[in-house]
A and B are shown apart, each in its own frame.
Chain A
Amino acid sequence: MSYIKIRNLNFSYKDDEGNPESVLRDLSLDIEKGEYVAVLGHNGSGKSTLAKLLNLVIEDYDYFEGSIEIDGMEISSPNMTEDDVYELRKKVGMVFQNPDNQIVATIVEEDVAFGPENLGLPREEIRARVDEALRIVGMTEYSRHEPHRLSGGQKQRIAIAGIIAMRPDCIIFDESTAMLDPMGRREVVNTMEKLNREDGKTIITITHYMDEAVRADRVIVIDDGRIILDGKPSEIFAKADKIRECGLDLPLCSDLLIKLRERGIRLDGEINTPEQCAETIARSLLK
């Protein structure tokens, strides 16, 4: 059974005049435990709404139809109690865009402890989880620092540690790299990858950056509230026209090879990364 199972989801917000504004349309999706999924889509495509729904942090909506099941729990059910929601949030953690706006405490380790403290865990258990989470994100030596003096990438890793310390099965990254410089992005994406590969966490990352999506096992492209493409990165990036239609860019090297193919040049092989592209070009040229 899938870890996340979404069936025929229709969702709309109320706009300022109180009219419904449709965001997700008849969306169905299955995500297995341990998958590493990148969700792409331009601003306003509905991808962030989808993420927030998975954690039930949307309040002011107009219309909600269809079903969302997470780990066998029907979270779209009207019978969800406050305790059910609490259980859900233990399973699915979220990391947001702006690191400044998700850090609560004035000392790193106390911020990481915030989640476990809310869970009412005993002190020794909190200590162990905080130390473990800081180790996983590589911030152990900063445990007594003040978060506002850290770099963007470091702050975001603290935010991630705060989620890891709650030991969720699944972590959703809602454009968590958008405000970071390349070094910070690398730090965060490496952390995501590590959480998936080593700790078996289900990772869902919402991003604009194609080079981040390439590293996932699976890419989903959302446009206008619908899933347009869903597959392995290499399958997705081969569909250049569709990607461009959705207001997205291809990784530059993939773009180049597709343009060459469009000129009628035969290039067989993978085209996700510069290395693969070089390999593919070399093979055809030196044949």
Chain B
Amino acid sequence: MSKIKVENVSFVYSAGTPFEVKALDDVTIEIKENTITGIIGHTGSGKSTLVQMFNGLVKPMSGRILLDGEDIWEKPKSIGSVRYRVGLVMQYPEYQLFEDTVIEDISFGPKNMGLDPDEIKKRVLEACELVGLDFDMLSKSPFDLSGGQKRRAAIAGVMAMRPEVLVLDEPAAGLDPAGRNSIFDGIKRYADATGAAVIIVSHSMDDMAKYCDELVVLSHSKVAMFGNRKEVFSRSRELEAIGLGVPQITRLVMLLRDKGIEISPDIYTVDEAETALAALFGGGV
């Protein structure tokens, strides 16, 4: 089922001045329910603009954004409710923390929704569990947490609104490997628990290969590729031409095939490669 449809959307910054910059040019994509969609592209490819369109922070200059088949800008006054249904986690979200305690900060979104206190508490605890934040952190000041914990608290603040679509812009940027994994695991748990459509923006092809079902490749403000993981990664030469590269494992598989080894080209993660290669080696020992 399609959750969000982006139809022929375009956007230009500083339109009509000499500084005019095209951010999105006739972009059409579809985001499915129960699916993790990855958006890949260079800095300046229009990703950030697109991400802020899903929840109505940026209004398209032409084209439409449909949420469950309805144009979100049909009634501009009710754009606020769209922001609760489509949760957006911006880059480095820990810089938005401001309350005295972690629990109050995570409650900020649900409170703005006008939920009653019991429901807020329930959602906050649920969100903490999803992102893997210990409950004894809740009474601390958000500024006393470690970098990775702050990030998780900020993501929990959006999850606590229980959005039907969760959009995350570079959720793991700047974290160490352990921190990265815990963030992505939390996102996956949210997707599994709620069936929400999840959209992840990332530079890392390896993370994309590991977590995403569908992929959108943006290049020079246009959709260069859109399809499932297999469809996109099979066009590895084009990806390299855009300068994005392919997952490291896919690169390894390409090298093996070049050497005449019969291995399926549709392998993107360590686990998949391990299984395939073990089979080639006769199932290991």
Contact = CB atoms under 8 A, between A and B. Distances in A.
A247 B177 contact: yes
Interface stretch (B64-72, B110-118, B231-239, B245-253): B245-253
A247 B178 contact: yes
B280 interface: yes
Given A248-B176, A263-B284, A282 B278 contact: no
B252 A208 contact: no
A248 B255 CA distance: 26
A97 B249 CA distance: 29
Nearest to A151: B43
A42 B178 contact: yes
A168 interface: no
Contacts, number: 102
B177 A249 contact: yes
Contact of B285 (A264, A284, A286): A264
Interface string B137-150: 00000001011100
Contacts of B121: none
Nearest to A45: B176
A265 B284 contact: yes
Contact of B277 (A16, A181, A260, A275): A260
Interface stretch (A30-38, A131-139, A140-148, A251-259): A251-259
A175 B174 CA distance: 9
Taking each of A179, A252, A265, which has the highest tally of chain B beta carbons within 10 Å of its own beta carbon? A252
Nearest to A248: B177
Contact of A259 (B147, B203, B274): B274
Interface in B155-208: 173-179, 181, 203-204, 206
A282 B256 contact: yes
Interface string A80-106: 000000000000000001000000000
A261 to B, nearest CB: 10
Contacts of B44: 151
A284 B243 CA distance: 32
A285 B278 contact: no
A260 B43 CA distance: 36
Interface in A265-287: 265, 274-275, 277-278, 281-282, 284-286
Chain A, interface size category, equals 35 or more
B279 to A, nearest CB: 11
A250 B44 CA distance: 30
B22 interface: no
B281 A285 contact: yes
A44 interface: yes
Contact of B270 (A16, A97, A259, A275): A259
Contact of B248 (A248, A252, A281): A252
Interface string A216-250: 00000000000000000000000000000001110
Contact of A181 (B43, B147, B176, B273): B43
Nearest to B245: A182
B176 A247 contact: yes
B79 interface: no
Contacts of A178: 173-174
Given A43-B146, A43-B176, A252-B206, A286 B261 contact: yes
Given A265-B285, A285-B280, 8 more contacts: A44-B146, A151-B44, A182-B203, A182-B244, A274-B251, A274-B255, A278-B256, A285-B261
Interface of A: 16, 42-44, 97, 151-152, 175, 178-179, 181-184, 208, 211, 247-249, 251-253, 255-256, 259-260, 263-265, 274-275, 277-278, 281-282, 284-286
- When A and B form their complex, which 9 residue pairs have the shortest distance between CB atoms, in order from nearest? A278-B255, A264-B285, A263-B284, A249-B177, A247-B178, A252-B248, A178-B174, A42-B176, A282-B259
